[in-house]
Amino acid sequence: MTIKNAMTIDVEDYFQVSAFERHIQKSSWGTIPCRLENNMDRILQLLSDHETKATFFTLGWVADNYPQVVKKIVDEGHELASHGYQHIRVSDQTADEFLADISHTKKLLEDIAGKAVKGYRAASFSMGEKTPWAHDMLDKAGYKYSSSIYPIQHDHYGMPSASRFLYYPLEKDGKSLIEVPISTLDLVGKRLPVGGGGYFRFFPYQFSKWMIAKVNDEDNESTVFYFHPWEIDSEQPRQQGIPLKTKFRHYINLKHMFKRLDKLLTDFEWGTMDDVFIAGQQHVQK
């Protein structure tokens, strides 16, 4: 039996990434030419060509300013999920601020889409040991799942102590909210990132393909893969005065990303987070 993996897209434009937040003020977002709509159209067409449905973790700011993007996502049968309102790290908020943000964004998305929003993903995977209250706030806000933990070591995010696979983060008699971490692979004492993002652009495609297949075949688990619309846009404006490491991470292999995604959608079976991890499935904590 072929394992179905979860394809996810974090819907934000290039100027909204955390790596640029010290260089581009949030107050200026509305004055910057949007490249998101065209990139989203290309992504939606690619998914349609492969008869694949995906989950779109969408910023509330995008929904407010480009509701037509949200409507296209839903009209084409994809899952709409929350990415918070303005791409603020969870670790930079208090519990009350976080609850207000995720509640507002959930209602906003639902009002535009006319459908329930079940899932949430934190900006820059910023949930972890420093935010022990975050899952409880998501449960209070009515979310069914989170995909916010990346169980790796990274200089800006990561929670290496977390489970590699789906788990229940809240101690309750009746299990409710689940966490579905971004996929990783343990190999020769090292934990490798499998789930996409800049790593997918950095690693040779065949290596990424091999890692996903290994998780499917040896762990017998579905993987969670993610990317951003700006990652298929090699013509996006280049930011000046940013650190070399940031420049390398953001711009590496943008021109190859679309073709790699095309291969990825061909080589594996994909579905939404809801389809793969929520709907009609029984979960066992790893």
Distance separating alpha carbons of residues 85 and 62, to the nearest angstrom? 8
Closest CA to 105 of 124, 122, 130: 122
Determine the pLDDT at residue 120: 98
Closest CA to 36 of 81, 7, 67, 80: 67
Distance separating alpha carbons of residues 197 and 238, to the nearest angstrom? 19
Distance separating alpha carbons of residues 112 and 62, to the nearest angstrom? 12
56-8-81-172 Cα dihedral, nearest 10 degrees: 180
Token pair, residue 79, equals 């899952």
Above 80 in pLDDT, residue 142? yes
Alpha-carbon dihedral sign for residues 215, 177, 130, 85: positive
- Residues 91-126: pLDDT tens digits? 999 999 999 999 999 999 999 999 999 999 999 999
Above 70 in pLDDT, residue 45? yes
Domain spanning 4-278, CATH class: alpha beta
**242 vs 3 pLDDT, higher one:** 3
Closest CA to 229 of 47, 21, 5: 47
Distance separating alpha carbons of residues 66 and 54, to the nearest angstrom? 19
Above 80 in pLDDT, residue 206? yes
Q: In sequence order, which residues have a C-beta less than 8 Å from that of residue 161 and are 6 or more positions away? A: 129, 151
Above 90 in pLDDT, residue 244? no
* Structural domain boundaries in the chain: 4-278
Place of tokens 């789930």: 195
Q: pLDDT-based confidence at 282, cuts 50/70/90?
A: very low
Neighbours of 111 (CB within 10 A): 11
CA 189, 190, 191: angle at the middle one, nearest 5? Answer: 130
Residue 203, SS3? Answer: coil
Place of tokens 């790699």: 260
Q: In sequence order, which residues have a C-beta less than 8 Å from that of residue 173 and are 6 or more positions away? A: none
Write down the H helix ranges in 114-229: 134-140, 198-202, 205-214
Rounded to the nearest integer, the mean pLDDT of the chain is 92
According to DSSP, residue 137 is labeled: H
E strands, the chain, are 4-11, 55-58, 79-82, 119-120, 145-146, 178-179, 184-187, 190-193, 224-227, 269-271
Above 60 in pLDDT, residue 286? no
Q: In sequence order, which residues have a C-beta less than 8 Å from that of residue 38 and are 6 or more positions away? A: none
Above 70 in pLDDT, residue 157? no
- Residues 47-59: pLDDT tens digits? 999 999 999 999 9
CB of 110 within 8 A of CB of 71? no
Residue 144 has φ and ψ, to the nearest 5°, of -100, -25
Task: Please give the distance of CA 224 from its chain centroid, rounded to a whole number.
Answer: 9
- Residues 246-257: pLDDT tens digits? 887 887 889 999
